[in-house]
Homo-oligomer: A and B are copies of this chain.
Amino acid sequence: MAKGITKRSVDYSRWYTDVIAAAQLADYSPVKGCMVIRPTGYAIWEKMQAALDKLFKDTGHENAYFPMFIPEHFMKKEAEHVEGFAPECAVVTHGGGKELEEPLFVRPTSETIIWSMYKDWIQSYRDLPILINQWANVVRWEMRTRLFLRTTEFLWQEGHTAHATAEEAEAETKQMLEIYRIFSEEYMAVPVITGRKTEREKFAGALHTYCIEAMMQDTKALQAGTSHNLGQNFAKAFDVTFQNEAGELESVWATSWGVSTRLIGALIMTHSDDNGLVLPPKMAATPVVFVPIWASNEEMNTVLKKIDEITADWKGKFNFKIDDRNNIRPGRKFNEWEKKGIPIRIEMGPRDMETNEVVLVRRDTGEKIRLPQDNLVERILTTLETMQNDMFNKAKEFRKHNTHIVDDYEEFKQRLDNEGGFYLIHWNGKTATEEKLQEETKATIRCIPFDSPDEPGKCLITGEPSERRVLVARAY
């Protein structure tokens, strides 16, 4: 266990904060509910951005930028939307030393400002589809905040697309959820359940919302990304019509989808341990650190010279750092890189040089492997790949172990309190039942999983008929 990091088994919530502090990922700021993302944390966000941006562009999306201020009357055009978001907005009332004629909302999400522009850009079916994404900051006033998971200002991407048909919009909504699943599982090594949100949990203004839900190490759920089919709601609110091929005027179909810096929280809570951050190789800006060991300045020079030889062919294969600081002892260096989650540490001292070996240490398992100095590149690349897979499988195994099927409400309540976890339960599909469930157990319906089979049963709460099981858990 690392100094300064509370054990998970002692206090999970403090452990999370301690890991963030130890790895210098983020800090609370003097502005209530806002965080500072420090360089180590921001480097993870840059890795996320790069991977997602490529996935978006490979599917034909382009980036753009819309103003962060939204006139008050725009927010009010879509009834559900304003009801959902207005209460948590920050409002600018003064600018340039004067009171504004109309207050400006700092965007909590950009549907309204974007659809006010799409009105000018869309006339004919030839102008469709529009496939735009934006990387931006947004603000949602939060009472209780938690670094990365829930902050008043956060960074995200929001895709906003416009289509000629309902079918195309639905296909886009599903495609983007699938991209989020791929990103989460193949890059973050975080397994997710894909499914549909209930009416109560859907985005304010959407027809329906799809989501990916992940299990954290305390077995609580975390919503990691959402993709919304907005139907024609925003087109109608902003009067965006197009002439179809038959020459008739129709309202445009819309989607929006987003993930945020919350993903960094999901990453930490899925993989990290009592020694600090554990990063899957694909999310590490620097996946390898080389820590030399020496007892004298003479030894230092010999060891560093040898390291230059060994690492000569590493460039372009993966990023690495050589920790050649002379005023810090190796043990402290090991500890520092462990806390920061660097996937692979290579150690080499004079004794290893005699046998032409190095020691490779895996951050995820702590395993130490003696390796010949020859062909180290290949061994490192293979190990990084293995680690990426192992971390995903470990997390998936953990989720499987903690996912339960229950059909008795009392058993459910007891197990939820004792073991936590995900539960697949029958539900009658009614919002009132959903609210009752939350009131009585603090658990919510996370989603109706796509892979939930038709399976008639009785609602766990009311005994009424149910067509299939839904996913229930306590959530962040």
A46:B63 contact, CB within 8 angstroms = yes
A113 at the interface (CB under 8 A from B): yes
A95:B39 contact, CB within 8 angstroms = no
Measured between beta carbons, the chain B residues less than 8 angstroms from A39 are 62-64, 132
B68:A137 contact, CB within 8 angstroms = yes
Task: Given the known inter-chain contacts A31-B71, A71-B30, please indicate yes or no for A64 contacting B92, CB distance below 8 A.
Answer: no
Q: Count residues on chain A whose CB falls below 8 Å from chain B CBs.
A: 53
Measured between beta carbons, the chain B residues less than 8 angstroms from A70 are 31
A182 at the interface (CB under 8 A from B): no
Task: Report the separation of the CA atoms of residues A94 and B89 in the bound assembly, to the nearest whole angstrom.
Answer: 8
A471 at the interface (CB under 8 A from B): no
Copies in the complex: 2
A97 at the interface (CB under 8 A from B): yes
B120:A27 contact, CB within 8 angstroms = yes
A183 at the interface (CB under 8 A from B): no
A116 at the interface (CB under 8 A from B): yes
Complex interface residues of chain A between 44 and 77 (CB less than 8 A to chain B): 45-46, 62-71, 74
A93:B96 contact, CB within 8 angstroms = no
Q: Mark A153-165, 1 if CB is under 8 A from B, else 0.
A: 1010000000000
Q: Mark A9-45, 1 if CB is under 8 A from B, else 0.
A: 0000000000000000001011100111111011101
A87 at the interface (CB under 8 A from B): yes
A207 at the interface (CB under 8 A from B): no
A214 at the interface (CB under 8 A from B): no
A87:B96 contact, CB within 8 angstroms = yes
- When A and B form their complex, which 9 residue pairs have the shortest distance between CB atoms, in order from nearest? A96-B141, A34-B67, A39-B62, A37-B65, A91-B94, A90-B95, A95-B141, A93-B93, A31-B67
11 contacts between A and B (CB under 8 A): A27-B117, A29-B117, A35-B67, A37-B64, A41-B64, A68-B153, A69-B90, A87-B96, A88-B96, A92-B92, A96-B141
Q: Chain A interface (Cβ within 8 Å of chain B)?
A: 27, 29-31, 34-39, 41-43, 45-46, 62-71, 74, 87-97, 103-104, 106, 113, 116-117, 120, 132, 136-137, 141-143, 152-153, 155
